[in-house]
């Protein structure tokens, strides 16, 4: 890899962003931080700017002025930009070679799309770019010569065990199935009665991964895995029936690929996001990530079991949305975001999350997607439908 590559970390104060900066910090000769963004944690963003001295910081809140003042007072030349235009601007900036798309939720879609249209190398940790806008996003990647590298541990694992030069044709590559592992989340062993009494705090106490509240709740409902199934469809050009979810509580096997000759290849490692981040940053090289080596003698037994879609219906809803395609995955994602926010605010129960999503999928008309505007319109309509249903039933 010749010279420094300019990096923009969108969602820099979240768990993916912090892990990315930890890896980048190990290779000052390879990487230079050009831009950082945050949504609410401006003080954390300030600290990062004082360490990495990026050209841009993107922050949408009223504290943006105070952030700029403190940076100037510290003799830091970082320029503070607003959102959403600021996010899209840094994603397109000529100094940026690599865009780490780590903003959670639909807000991460426009800058990821801007990076694709600018032909950047995109390290995709934002699920919504492919869940909401799979055909539109992949068309932009292909048309503008962007490079798309998955950062989700499961998709990175699949990517790592695909045959060299994989062209997007599973059958030609001798692949029968993609097996996405799921930890099962904190509620894997709970009964339906216990699930009805689950609290946001319990849902956010993930047994193996350290994640933000929204993704933690998605893991608890198995929606996180449903979204990953939809992502895998676009990343690897797979049909729904070629993607299977396997519950694996230890989170040591990150995913597997089953070949026609009976071979099953897997990628193993500690549950640490720095591994897939380092793989994507260094690709096609492998670089040190600061992650300890896996000691197989201390791992202990590994369990694998099928997901229980009766207790966790969100996964089945995701498969249904994938089979419908068009606007259905965008509706699924939007309704899920609204429902998870309501659950975190203790306005609805845990079992109400799939009920909200099911209502939105049943209520919203199916549309084809040909542009980003189509995607955002489906997203807006689904959010309003989900919010109205919650207001009507859960006062």
Using DSSP, state whether 119 is helix, strand or coil: coil
Q: What is residue 127's predicted lDDT score, i.e. its pLDDT? A: 85
DSSP 179-208: EEEE---TTTT--HHHHHT--HHHHT--SS
DSSP 121-154: EEEE--THHHHHHHHHHHHHHHHHT-EEEE-SHH
CB 10 within 8 A of CB 102: yes
- Who's near 307: CB < 8 A, 6+ residues apart? 182, 184, 222, 225, 245, 246, 247, 315
Q: What is residue 226's predicted lDDT score, i.e. its pLDDT? A: 97
Euclidean distance between CA atoms 127 and 391, whole angstroms:
27
Q: What is residue 1's predicted lDDT score, i.e. its pLDDT? A: 45
Helix (H) or strand (E) holding 89: helix 85-92
The second-level CATH assignment, the architecture, of 326-395 is: Orthogonal Bundle (1.10)
Residue 344: Cβ within 10 Å count: 17
CB 323 within 8 A of CB 241: no
Dig out the tokens for 392 from the structure: 């009507």
Using DSSP, state whether 377 is helix, strand or coil: helix
CB 236 within 8 A of CB 158: yes
Q: What are the two backbone dihedrals, phi and then psi, of residue 99, each rounded to the nearest 5 degrees?
A: -110, 120
Using DSSP, state whether 72 is helix, strand or coil: helix
Query: Which tens digits make up the pLDDT trace of 315-364?
Result: 999 999 999 999 999 999 999 999 999 999 999 999 999 999 999 999 99
The angle subtended at Cα 326 by Cα 344 and Cα 149, nearest 5°, is 70
Low-confidence ranges of the chain (pLDDT < 70): 1-2, 206-211, 395
Whether the link from the prior residue into 84 is cis, omega within 30° of 0, is yes
Query: Which tens digits make up the pLDDT trace of 2-29?
Result: 589 999 999 999 999 999 999 999 999 9
Query: Which tens digits make up the pLDDT trace of 45-59?
Result: 999 999 999 999 999
**CA 158 remoteness from chain centre:** 15
Euclidean distance between CA atoms 283 and 91, whole angstroms:
20
Per-domain residue ranges of the chain:
5-151, 153-270+302-309, 326-395
- Who's near 142: CB < 8 A, 6+ residues apart? none
Given 3.40.640.10, 3.40.47.10, 3.40.50.720, 3.40.50.300, which CATH number is that of 5-151? Answer: 3.40.50.720
């Amino acid at each position: 890899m010749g010279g420094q590559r300019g990096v923009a970390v969108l969602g820099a104060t979240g768990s993916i962003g912090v892990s990315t900066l930890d890896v980048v910090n190990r290779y000052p000769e390879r990487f230079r931080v050009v831009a950082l963004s945050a949504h609410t944690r401006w003080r954390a963003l300030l600290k990062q700017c004082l360490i990495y001295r990026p050209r841009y910081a993107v922050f949408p809140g009223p504290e943006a002025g105070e952030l700029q003042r403190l940076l100037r007072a510290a003799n830091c030349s970082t320029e503070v930009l607003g959102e959403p235009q600021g996010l899209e601007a840094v994603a397109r900036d000529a100094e940026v070679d690599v865009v780490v798309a780590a903003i959670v939720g639909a807000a991460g879609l426009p800058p990821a799309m801007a990076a694709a249209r600018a032909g950047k190398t995109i390290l995709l940790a934002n699920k919504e770019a492919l869940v909401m806008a799979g055909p539109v996003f992949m068309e932009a990647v292909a048309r503008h010569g962007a490079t798309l590298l998955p950062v989700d541990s499961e998709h990175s694992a699949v990517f790592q065990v695909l045959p060299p030069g994989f062209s997007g044709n599973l059958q030609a590559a001798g692949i029968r199935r993609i097996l996405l592992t799921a930890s099962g989340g904190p509620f894997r062993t709970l009964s339906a009665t216990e699930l009805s009494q689950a609290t946001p705090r319990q849902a956010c106490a993930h047994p193996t991964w350290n994640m933000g509240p929204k993704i933690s709740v998605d893991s608890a409902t198995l929606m996180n895995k449903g979204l990953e199934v939809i992502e895998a469809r676009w990343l690897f050009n797979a049909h729904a029936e070629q993607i299977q979810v396997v519950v694996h509580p230890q989170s040591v096997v990150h995913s597997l690929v089953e070949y026609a000759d009976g071979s099953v290849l897997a990628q193993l490692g500690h549950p640490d996001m720095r591994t897939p981040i380092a793989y994507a940053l260094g690709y096609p090289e492998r670089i040190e990530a600061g992650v300890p080596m896996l000691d197989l003698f201390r791992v202990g037994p590994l369990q694998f079991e099928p997901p229980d879609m009766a207790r966790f219906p969100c996964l089945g809803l995701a498969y249904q949305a994938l089979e419908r395609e068009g606007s259905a995955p965008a509706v699924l994602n939007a309704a899920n975001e609204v429902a998870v926010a309501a659950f975190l605010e203790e306005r609805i129960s845990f079992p109400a999350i799939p009920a909200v999503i099911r209502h939105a999928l049943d209520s919203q008309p199916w549309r084809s997607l040909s542009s980003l505007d189509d995607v955002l319109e489906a997203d807006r309509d689904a959010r309003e439908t989900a919010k109205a249903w919650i207001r009507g039933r859960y006062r």
